[in-house]
């Protein structure tokens, strides 16, 4: 039986040649003789050349070059028309006579052919017109056919389509069957009788060697020449082969045989869904496998993919910071500047949008710093975090307290809706951070929309009068549209909040007791400030210039909520665009 180049073996052979394998190896993998491979290459080469492709492009398309190409080149201009086929000019004469009004017999006589040949041409024209979508009645009228002839031509056309469909289905079944055999052979699951005998002999030899026998003794017991034993040892680089441990797959991961079959079916043009049906896998599994393991040229190499998958599944795995020294050094420099892990990761994503090796998750940095087993980041960088802790603290250990009561409060639920939506700038949140023994303090203010912050030092006391004076002074230089509201907690420092409203013109709203999330922007800013002014320290020692430099540094740090823009940049934009009053 002559196999065509479009068969499963032919497609496998031609794909192997195009991937750069030699003729003998490709023919052996396809299960054909190398002369059959030459015949397939000749067919494809001549097809390319007769379609107008240059000789160099045809060789490049096949991925093959040989001295036989010069012989094939001489056959390019030779016609492959069948010897029983009538010349094209004779068929043209027939159609001219038939279209002039002669009947089938007279037109055949004018062209000098038999009536059966003319009828075959007529039936072929009928199939071509029907394939273009023309109705049966119109074709019958155009070709002047009888009802019986039209019925017969239509029936024969349906029979041919059915035969072609059945042939395509049979070809697909043969291709799948051939692919299974190929995958079994390539994975070493199908061994010939000599190969099985040789494998059993090698296993017995190594078992004797592991029991303490010499090469000569093991060879004598197995009835073979000691040179054969030497060749077996040389194949293992003269190292004793460990006992084989059969790997039992749980079926969760793709194995080598499945990967070999995926590559073979891809070469034969099967879709991912059809491959998944054949392997009994989900189509997403096949798609992920191809997305992960295609090389730069788009080729899927099954053995390389299997090797890479085994390495990827190996545990324990080195963390990203441990495996990438340059990334680790960059993270350490940013931590040393008191950047938070989230700010570091967002900045890297924005600065290196096309470099995936510079992507990192904030949790990765936290785990390296706060878990005892991870050592890629030194524990000294824990002090650069805003909490300063070296281990993770459970949330249930956090205590809550109750502040003093403030009279005549306007609660946060009365605050304008524009402050909650953050669509309008000028809405602030404020609080105090206390120093050692609550003797010194600082006023912290943060704008909700731009996340711009202000810190004012109170080195001597933090009474209501001092706080009112500090807040009024901070708001004095701001444009009117940038000081709309102020939200505070119910601390005693706001006992004279009505005087503050009168002096600054900013209405003050109070959050619910023990509800710091209602002032989340300010609580976040307090955490940032505590990186520079830690708890339990004397805040009075910091000069006004130092506090101003810390405030400027905080406002120049990128923020995730701002698309990693800086608060100073956003605040400058909002301050410059005053609303137009109607």
CB proximity list for 504: less than 8 A, separation 6 or greater:
471, 472, 475, 476, 483
The residue among 73, 99, 118 that closes a domain is: 73
Look at residue 317 in the predicted model and tell me its pLDDT: 76
| pLDDT confidence band for 405 (50 / 70 / 90) | low
Residue 447, phi then psi, degrees to nearest 5: -80, 135
CA distance 61 to 53: 10
Look at residue 398 in the predicted model and tell me its pLDDT: 47
CA distance 540 to 30: 85
Look at residue 373 in the predicted model and tell me its pLDDT: 66
Look at residue 396 in the predicted model and tell me its pLDDT: 46
Confirm whether 319 is domain-assigned: no
The residue among 73, 97, 128 that closes a domain is: 73
Inter-CA distances, 276 with 263, 269, 286, 423, 563, Å? 12, 14, 6, 50, 41
pLDDT value at 550 more than 90: yes
Taking only the tens place, the pLDDT of each residue in 318-355 is 788 888 888 999 999 999 998 999 999 999 999 988 88
| pLDDT confidence band for 249 (50 / 70 / 90) | low
pLDDT value at 104 more than 80: yes
On whether both 419 and 302 belong to a single domain, the answer is no
On whether both 66 and 97 belong to a single domain, the answer is no
Task: Find residue 444's DSSP bridge partners.
Answer: 431, 455
Look at residue 549 in the predicted model and tell me its pLDDT: 95
Q: For the chain, what is the mean pLDDT?
A: 86
Three-point CA angle 166, 171, 175, nearest 5° = 150
Look at residue 244 in the predicted model and tell me its pLDDT: 67
- Which burial class, exposed, middle or buried, applies to 289 when counting CB atoms under 10 A from its CB (0-12, 13-18, 19+)? buried
CATH of residue 490: 3.30.420.10
Structural domain containing residue 64: 8-73
On whether both 304 and 440 belong to a single domain, the answer is no
Look at residue 489 in the predicted model and tell me its pLDDT: 92
CB proximity list for 48: less than 8 A, separation 6 or greater:
57, 58, 61, 62
Q: What percent of the chain has pLDDT over 90?
A: 33
Confirm whether 1 is domain-assigned: no
Taking only the tens place, the pLDDT of each residue in 423-447 is 899 999 999 999 988 889 999 999 9
On whether both 309 and 264 belong to a single domain, the answer is yes
The residue among 394, 424, 455 that closes a domain is: 394
On whether both 493 and 570 belong to a single domain, the answer is yes
Mapped onto helix, strand or coil, the DSSP state of residue 192 is coil
- Which burial class, exposed, middle or buried, applies to 153 when counting CB atoms under 10 A from its CB (0-12, 13-18, 19+)? buried
Confirm whether 273 is domain-assigned: yes
Give me 60's structure tokens. 């490049």
Mapped onto helix, strand or coil, the DSSP state of residue 487 is strand
CA 112 to chain centre: 67
Confirm whether 171 is domain-assigned: no
Query: What's the helix, strand, coil split of the chain in %, to 5?
Result: 60, 5, 35
Confirm whether 214 is domain-assigned: yes
Confirm whether 437 is domain-assigned: yes
CA 16 to chain centre: 28
Secondary structure, 3-state, 337-401? CCCCHHHHHHHHHHHCCCCHHHCCCHHHHHHHHHCCCCCCCCHHHHHHCCCCCCCCCCHHHCCCC
530, 531, 549: which is closest to 336 by C-alpha? 531
On whether both 448 and 363 belong to a single domain, the answer is no
| pLDDT confidence band for 394 (50 / 70 / 90) | low
Look at residue 412 in the predicted model and tell me its pLDDT: 93
Torsion over CA of 136, 137, 138 and 144, rounded to 10 degrees? 100
CA 529 to chain centre: 39
On whether both 270 and 300 belong to a single domain, the answer is yes
Q: Mean pLDDT across the stretch 140-155?
A: 90
| 277 touches 265 (CB < 8 A) | no
| pLDDT confidence band for 81 (50 / 70 / 90) | low
Task: Find residue 42's DSSP bridge partners.
Answer: none
Q: What's the length of the chain?
A: 582
- Count of CB atoms situated within 10 Å of the CB of 248: 6
On whether both 538 and 561 belong to a single domain, the answer is yes
CA distance 433 to 540: 12
| 480 touches 421 (CB < 8 A) | no
Which has more confidence, 126 or 190?
Answer: 126
On whether both 283 and 308 belong to a single domain, the answer is yes
On whether both 470 and 559 belong to a single domain, the answer is yes
Give me 426's structure tokens. 């000028």
Look at residue 456 in the predicted model and tell me its pLDDT: 95
Confirm whether 400 is domain-assigned: no
pTM for the predicted model, two decimal places: 0.47
Secondary structure, 3-state, 216-262? HHHHHHHCCCHHHHHHHHHHCCCCCCCCCCCCCCCCCCCCHHHHHHH
On whether both 359 and 478 belong to a single domain, the answer is no
On whether both 425 and 534 belong to a single domain, the answer is yes
Q: How many domains does the chain have?
A: 6
Q: Which range has the worst mean pLDDT, 234-238, 291-295, 398-402?
A: 398-402
Confirm whether 240 is domain-assigned: no
Q: What percent of the chain has pLDDT over 70?
A: 93
pLDDT value at 401 more than 60: no
């Amino acid at each position: 039986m002559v196999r065509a180049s479009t068969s499963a073996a032919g497609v496998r052979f031609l794909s192997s040649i195009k991937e750069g394998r030699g003729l003998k190896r490709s023919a052996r993998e396809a299960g054909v003789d190398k002369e059959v491979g030459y015949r397939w290459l000749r067919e494809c080469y001549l097809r390319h050349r007769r379609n107008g492709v240059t000789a160099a492009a045809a060789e490049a398309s096949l991925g093959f070059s040989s001295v036989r190409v010069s012989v094939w080149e001489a056959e390019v201009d030779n016609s492959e028309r069948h010897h029983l086929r009538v010349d094209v000019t004779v068929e043209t004469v027939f159609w001219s006579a038939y279209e002039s009004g002669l009947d089938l017999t007279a037109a055949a006589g004018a062209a000098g052919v038999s009536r059966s040949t003319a009828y075959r041409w007529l039936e072929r024209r009928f199939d071509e017109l029907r394939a273009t979508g023309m109705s049966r009645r119109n074709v019958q009228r155009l070709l002047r056919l009888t009802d019986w002839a039209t019925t017969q031509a239509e029936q024969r056309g349906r029979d041919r389509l059915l035969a072609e469909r059945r042939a395509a289905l049979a070809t697909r079944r043969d291709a799948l069957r051939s692919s299974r055999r190929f995958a079994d052979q390539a994975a070493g699951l199908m061994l010939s009788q000599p190969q099985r005998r040789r494998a059993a002999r090698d296993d017995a030899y190594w078992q004797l060697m592991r029991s303490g026998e010499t090469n000569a003794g093991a060879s004598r017991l197995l009835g073979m020449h000691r040179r054969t034993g030497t060749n077996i040892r040389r194949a293992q680089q003269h190292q004793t082969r460990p006992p084989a441990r059969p790997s039992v797959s749980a079926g969760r991961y793709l194995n080598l045989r499945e990967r070999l079959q995926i590559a073979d079916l891809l070469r034969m043009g099967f879709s991912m869904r059809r491959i998944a049906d054949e392997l009994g896998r989900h189509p997403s599994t096949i798609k992920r496998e191809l997305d992960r393991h295609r090389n730069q040229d788009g080729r899927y190499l099954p053995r390389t993919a299997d090797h890479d998958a085994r390495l990827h599944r190996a545990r324990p795995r080195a963390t990203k910071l441990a495996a990438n020294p340059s990334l680790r050094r960059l993270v350490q420099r940013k931590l040393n500047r008191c950047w938070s892990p989230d700010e570091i990761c967002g900045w890297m994503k924005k600065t290196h949008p096309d470099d995936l090796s510079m992507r990192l998750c904030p949790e990765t940095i936290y785990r390296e710093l706060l878990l005892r087993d991870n050592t890629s980041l030194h524990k000294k960088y824990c002090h650069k975090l805003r909490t300063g802790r070296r281990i993770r603290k459970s949330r249930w250990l956090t205590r809550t307290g109750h502040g003093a009561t403030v009279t005549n409060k306007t609660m946060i639920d009365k605050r304008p809706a524009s402050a909650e939506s953050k669509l309008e700038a000028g809405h602030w949140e404020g609080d105090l951070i206390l120093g050692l023994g609550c003797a010194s303090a600082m006023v912290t203010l943060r704008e909700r929309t731009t996340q711009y912050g202000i810190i004012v030092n109170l080195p001597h006391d933090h009474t209501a009068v001092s706080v009112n004076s500090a807040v009024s002074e901070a708001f004095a230089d701001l444009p009117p549209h940038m000081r709309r509201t102020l939200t505070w907690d119910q601390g005693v420092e706001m006992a004279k909040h009505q005087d503050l409203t009168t002096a600054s013109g900013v209405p003050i709203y109070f959050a619910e007791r023990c509800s710091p999330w209602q002032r989340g922007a300010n609580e976040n800013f307090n955490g940032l400030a505590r990186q520079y002014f830690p708890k339990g320290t004397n805040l009075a020692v910091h000069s006004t210039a130092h506090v101003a430099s810390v405030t400027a540094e905080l406002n120049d740090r990128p923020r995730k909520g701002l698309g990693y823009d800086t608060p100073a940049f956003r605040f400058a934009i909002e301050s410059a665009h005053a609303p137009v009053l109607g």
